[in-house]
């Protein structure tokens, strides 16, 4: 996530930099640094920001869990943490999911795949369509 997208998403949440710092458990100076591009956005901050966006802007999306949308086989479902924890609408948030049959070693690697996935793309489309 780059600084411009971070700033855009903060505005979509209708939060000041101070409020965003409180929500993310960081300092206002860190928020300034993220938005100015002086500091890269840590993965835990990116993850939390996506979570807040989906909770506020994507509730009741009715698309169903990821395993239904992606037509995962029962054997794959049973091995996947998204299935185990009934997190099919937040699969992108859960580490260790086995999308495309592979467990990803890092958040960055996982998100690279998520950005190509129809489930996550639909979420981003809803977030991007929301005015601020």
CATH of the domain at 31: 1.10.260.40
pTM of the model: 0.81
Same domain, 75 and 117: yes
Q: Which of 31-35, 71-75, 76-80, 119-123 has the highest mean pLDDT?
A: 31-35
Count structural domains, the chain. Answer: 2
Same domain, residue pair 87 and 122: yes
pLDDT bracket for residue 98 (50, 70, 90): confident
Instruction: Give percent of the chain above pLDDT 70.
Output: 97
72 and 21 together in one domain: no
Q: 10-63: per-residue pLDDT in tens?
A: 999 999 999 999 999 999 999 999 999 999 999 899 999 999 998 888 765 567
Let me know whether 102 and 121 are in one domain: yes
User: Which domain covers residue 44, as residue numbers?
Assistant: 1-52
3-state secondary structure 42-81: CHHHHHHHHHHHHHHHCCCCCCCCHHHHCCCCHHHHHHCH
Do 48 and 104 have their domain in common? no
Angle at 88 between CA 82 and CA 89, to 5 degrees: 135
Same domain, 32 and 7: yes
Burial class (CB in 10 A: 0-12, 13-18, 19+), 88: buried
User: Are 48 and 94 within one domain?
Assistant: no
Do both 65 and 26 map to the same domain?
no
């Amino acid at each position: 996530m780059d600084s411009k997208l971070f700033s855009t998403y903060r505005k979509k949440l209708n939060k000041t930099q101070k409020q965003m710092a409180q929500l993310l458990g960081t300092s206002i100076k860190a928020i300034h640094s993220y938005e100015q591009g002086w500091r890269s956005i840590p993965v835990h901050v990116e993850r939390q920001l996506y979570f807040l966006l989906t909770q506020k802007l994507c509730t009741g999306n009715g698309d169903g869990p990821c395993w239904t949308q992606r037509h995962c086989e029962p054997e794959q479902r049973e091995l996947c943490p998204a299935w185990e924890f009934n997190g099919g609408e937040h699969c992108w948030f859960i580490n260790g999911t086995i999308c495309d049959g592979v467990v990803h070693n890092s958040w960055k690697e996982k998100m690279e795949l998520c950005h190509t996935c129809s489930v996550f793309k639909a979420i981003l489309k809803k977030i991007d369509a929301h005015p601020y």
